[in-house]
Chain A
Amino acid sequence: GQNIDQPTEMTATEGAIVQINCTYQTSGFNGLFWYQQHAGEAPTFLSYNVLDGLEEKGRFSSFLSRSKGYSYLLLKELQMKDSASYLCAVRDSYNTDKLIFGTGTRLQVFP
């Protein structure tokens, strides 16, 4: 089966660091994606991991452990504009490589 779990909501303070976890169970694995979606807007691509380890891109980093079926998105120096939903998605290689999305984590950043 396919299952992708993320916390539903998180809160953090401006300037802080927050880690959003994602665990997955899929028949196959061919990459993990993080997307950001502001309320009422389209999701936008943040990161892609296919090998174990950390990928850093500015204030955002994404980590993957394939053996544990685990990823996290790390947001540093939080800004108010980072308040959004963060979607974890796995490409399931046993399921025609479709992107399977989690339900998303709604992050609220407070001043």
Chain B
Amino acid sequence: KAGVTQTPRYLIKTRGQQVTLSCSPISGHRSVSWYQQTPGQGLQFLFEYFSETQRNKGNFPGRFSGRQFSNSRSEMNVSTLELGDSALYLCASSLGLQDRGTGELFFGEGSRLTVL
């Protein structure tokens, strides 16, 4: 069965621009979580979506937003990009919410964003 697919894999933007990243979860998975990974901070939780509703949100500014569609695919958007937004953005899917069962997350390979 296909894994979690993220697009694009790599992208370069300049400060002030906006970016939209896409994530297709494993078929049948209804929960999608987004993480930002940087060398110094590790994986930082952005948000979690389940059945098109945001269920959890991390401590990121309002420039970071997301949504989930009826087919469970998710997008995240970052507006007014800053240099510090350069990172690997990882999407993870699970059958249910993170607090159900073992909550094992299946990660995509990420979208590497560079802001110049």
Contacts and interface: CB of A to CB of B under 8 A. Distances in A.
B97 A97 contact: yes
B35 to A, nearest CB: 7
Interface of B: 3-4, 33, 35, 40-45, 48, 55-56, 58, 90, 97-99, 102-110
Contact of B107 (A44, A48, A91): A44
Contacts of B40: 103
B6 to A, nearest CB: 9
Interface residues of A, number: 24
Contacts of B110: 42
Given A96-B56, A97-B97, A104-B42, 9 more contacts: A31-B102, A40-B109, A43-B43, A91-B99, A97-B103, A98-B48, A100-B45, A101-B43, A104-B43
Contacts of B102: 31, 48
A77 to B, nearest CB: 25
B98 A98 contact: yes
B99 A97 contact: yes
Q: In the complex, which of the residues B3, B48, B55, B98 has the most CB atoms of chain A within 10 Å of its own CB atom?
A: B98
B103 A31 contact: yes
A98 B107 CA distance: 15
Interface in A84-108: 87, 89, 91, 93, 96-104
A110 interface: no
Contacts of B108: 42
Given A42-B4, A48-B102, A48-B104, A101 B56 contact: no
A99 B48 CA distance: 10
B115 to A, nearest CB: 20
A89 B35 CA distance: 13
